[in-house]
Structure 1
Amino acid sequence: MTVDMDEFWVFGYGSLMWNPGFAFEEKLTARAFGFRRSLCVHSWVHRGTEQRPGLVLGLDRGGSCIGTAFRVQRGQQADVVDYLRERELVTHVYKERTMPVLLADGRRVPALAYVIDRAHVQYAGSLTTTEAAGIVAVSTGKSGPNSEYVFNTLAHLKEMGIRDHWLEEVVGLLRQSPRSARA
């Protein structure tokens, strides 16, 4: 299949998948290779504080990640990029990258994505499911409990037919924890 080089795609792997916040013309399941969805970002505002950081998703290197690709209408690209930069680059824990993604219909297209900056102070590194669940269970930020974010994320992934075994294990541990809200 040929790709229209004027097409502009955005790849989402977390809340962007179900809450993009921008208009799009096409939405398809997509896979990014060489990166995986991970609770690898210390949240200092929305799901934790600097004193007790929570964890939110990042796109970290290794493996592959099933997410959603959005094709943005011509003429709207600059507005969408401005919106995404305001949303994703608040503390600059992510790096803006264009990467190839494989769409569900077999096309390979370049897509804008936000990848974790491993040198950033908010990078949590590779955590075990037990470590991640322990952090999530006790963290709360201005947007609410960290556990609520993780439960919500997994519920949306399941609704979309996307399995994330690591995140499922974290949720299983959270449900056993007396400190986290159960959902």
Structure 2
Amino acid sequence: MVMWVFGYGSLIWKAGFHFDERVVGFIKGYRRVFYQGSTDHRGTPEYPGRTVTLEPAEGEICWGVAYKISKKEDQEIALTLSKASQGTIGSDLKHEADLVYCFQRYM
């Protein structure tokens, strides 16, 4: 089974896991926002740094990179990375239906 990971923040430049393919594009119905505060790797407890997250937004698009991952071991690493980050690295697991607008040649 193939899994796609959509990166819309720092994951665009630094995946941190093995992938089979990298495709630049956008998804519809989401926008990038900096609402989440973080002291993990930026900011201080008094002044948390802003990290990017996705927010559903009708009519909007969000540019990023989709990573195709087919090996089970690599999928487990990507899932662990995504769960550990809680959105702080700008990644989100998407179903194929979410990516169809941008990545039609792959679906």
TM-score by length of structure 1 reads: 0.47
Which of 55, 61, 67 lines up with 1:70 in the alignment? 67
Number of residue-to-residue matches in the alignment: 100
Query: CA 1:84–1:43 in structure 2 vs 1: closer, same or farther (change >3 Å)?
Result: same
Secondary structure of 1:30 counterpart: strand
Structure having greater relative contact order (Cα 8 Å, sep ≥ 6): 2
> What does residue 94 of structure 2 align with?
98
Identical amino acids, percent of aligned pairs: 30
Assess if the C-alpha contact under 8 Å between 2:27 and 2:99 holds in 1.
yes
How well do the aligned residues superpose, as a CA RMSD in angstroms? 2.6
* 5+ long unaligned stretches in structure 2: none
CA deviations over 1:65-110 (Å, ceiling 9, x no partner) = 0110000132221232123222x1389xx9x65341137552365x
Q: CA deviation at 1:21?
A: 0.2
- Report runs of 4+ in structure 1 exceeding 4 Å deviation: none
1:53 counterpart = 2:48: yes
* 5+ long unaligned stretches in structure 1: 1-5, 110-183
TM-score by length of structure 2 reads: 0.75
Q: Which has the larger radius of gyration?
A: 1
Assess if the C-alpha contact under 8 Å between 1:29 and 1:103 holds in 2.
no
More strand by share: 2
Assess if the C-alpha contact under 8 Å between 2:27 and 2:102 holds in 1.
no
AA in 2 matched with 1:31:
F
Query: CA 1:45–1:7 in structure 2 vs 1: closer, same or farther (change >3 Å)?
Result: closer
Assess if the C-alpha contact under 8 Å between 2:52 and 2:87 holds in 1.
no
Assess if the C-alpha contact under 8 Å between 1:101 and 1:108 holds in 2.
no
